[in-house]
Structure 1
Amino acid sequence: EGAADATGTESDAPRDERWHSTLARVREHAARHLPAHLVPSVWARIDHVPLTRHHKVDRAALPAPGPTGEQVASRPPRTDRERELCALFGTVLGLPAVGPDTDFFTAGGHSLTALRLKSKIETVLDVRIPVSILFDAPTPAALAARLDAPATAHGRAP
């Protein structure tokens, strides 16, 4: 019914496509069956799982998670608004680079960091937004589109 640790294997081709597809399914499953605070916010792909001499996962030997391909810049921002939001996402998430298509929650964000991001966006961009917009538009590109729309979903144009 549950597992303390999860591992998976994959073939090398097409490695990234299969990884992202599998990860999306695992995330969805975890979100459906676990309380929100038990769903990992950071996922990492590793080549092997280090084991202790008792054949248990050696947590101390696991590599520290770092930015993954989906957390770093995937394409340059197209607008000034996207550029500003990428910088704010990176600051709040503690990442050196965030692309316009980086999903806030996939990159390690959670409800508390969403509140910090909301506050920074309101201060820097001089707009008022509900925190729910970050759940509806979790990437800098999607959020920029929402903020730049003539009549925004949050009630007033920026």
Structure 2
Amino acid sequence: MLHAYAVPESAAVQAGELRRHLAARLPEYAVPAELVLLPALPLTPNGKVDRAALPPPPQRAAAGPGQEPSTATERLVAGVWREVLGLPRVSADANFFEIGGHSLATAQVQARLAAVLGREVPIVDLFRFPTVRTLAAHLDGERRTAGSERAARRVAARRARPSTRPHRARRESKE
């Protein structure tokens, strides 16, 4: 889960308001799920942000409540997410990036899903389909990999194209 800390210029600024402002300007995966407003950032003696002194962000129950994964693929995806993120439960509606997912975890999920499914799972699909349900539906909808689809289109295009090389035409006419 992406957490952010901010020091507002005015006491009138609310965390929800700032989060909506960020959501209007950033891609969904870059919007912090938790935003903590502080009067000042804690600093080390060297003047850098003292991360250890930051208060822990409030915990959300995004991974827990919600519908149970119902299909085999939903259960598979939820299981991989549980293992990678170290969660006891992941609902079918859980958003990967809101329950603790980040770029390194995305790479781990991609590798595990590809190994279990025995096919390529493009990493971009994990960003395009961020919930267990949407990713599972996408994976269930893919009958062929993108590479085999591309190859099939190329072969069909070659067969549909008339031959322009004379030696090839002569060879075919002798047979």
Q: TM-score, normalised by structure 1?
A: 0.63
Unaligned runs of 5+ residues in structure 2 are 43-51, 150-175
In 2, the alpha carbon distance for the partners of 1:40 and 1:70 equals 15
Moved over 6 A (4+): none
CA contact (8 A) 2:19 2:35 kept: no
Q: Report the aligned-residue RMSD.
A: 3.5
In 2, the alpha carbon distance for the partners of 1:76 and 1:31 equals 30
The residue that corresponds to 1:134 in the other structure is 126
The one of the two structures with greater contact order (alpha-carbon pairs below 8 A, sep at least 6) is 2
| Structure 1 residues 46-68: Cα deviation after superposition (integer angstroms, max 9, x where no partner) | xxx7x8xxx646773724654x2
- Normalized per residue, which structure has more strand? 2
Matches within 5 A, 1:3-152: 4-5=6-7, 8=14, 25-29=20-24, 31=26, 43=34, 56=40, 60=53, 62-63=55-56, 66=59, 68-151=60-143
Give 1:30 deviation, angstroms: 6.4
- Normalized per residue, which structure has more helix? 2
Q: TM-score, normalised by structure 2?
A: 0.58
In 2, the alpha carbon distance for the partners of 1:155 and 1:100 equals 29
Unaligned runs of 5+ residues in structure 1 are 10-18
